[in-house]
Amino acid sequence: MIAIDTSSWIAYLSGAEGADVAIVERLLTDRQACLPPVVLTELLSDPQLPRRVEVLFRSLPLLPVTDGYWERAGGLRAKLIGRRRRARLADTLIAQSCLDHDVALVTRDADFRHFSRVARLKLLV
């Protein structure tokens, strides 16, 4: 399984081009896509989201929140902030979900590179 970030979903759904979009297409075809819970929340927050797309998102496996998740996420964010790196809360929660389940993340959001340096988050693209 490989997790897909909101930024890559938006690119995919808008018909954009890019390596991440190709990976999303392949993951959907191979039934290997999964979602961190925060990504599902971000995606379902769009009031204009077409019903068929909502059905797709709800059908994908969701990475479960494990014991100690919130504490680990807080520690991860503290590490980045301590190094004066950008650590948005949603990005931190997405990164921690991927780290907890040892899954790579497809994203076009460059802010995730900080998580890959500090916590070995695997990024695709």
Q: What is the pLDDT of residues 55-73, one digit of tens each?
A: 999 999 999 999 999 999 9
Taking each helix axis from N to C end, the angle separating 69-82 and 112-119, rounded to the nearest 10 degrees, works out to 100
Tokens 């998740």 found at: 69
Residues 37 and 75 reside in one and the same domain: no
pLDDT at 125: 82
Answer yes or no: do 91 and 53 share one domain: no
Q: Which amino acid belongs to residue 92? A: T
In a domain, 40, yes or no: yes
Looking at the fold, whether 82 and 120 belong to one and the same domain comes out as: yes
Domain that holds residue 114: 69-124
CA triple 42-89-25, angle to 5 deg? 40
Question: Would residue 64 count as lying in a domain?
Answer: no
H helices of the chain, where? 6-14, 19-30, 37-44, 51-59, 69-82, 89-101, 112-119
Q: Is residue 46, in this structure, part of any structural domain at all?
A: yes
When the pLDDT of each residue in the chain is averaged and rounded to a whole number, the result is 97
Kindly state the average pLDDT of the residues 97-105: 98
Span 41-46, average pLDDT: 97
12: left (phi over 0), alpha (psi -120 to 50) or beta: alpha
Report the number of distinct structural domains present in the chain.
2
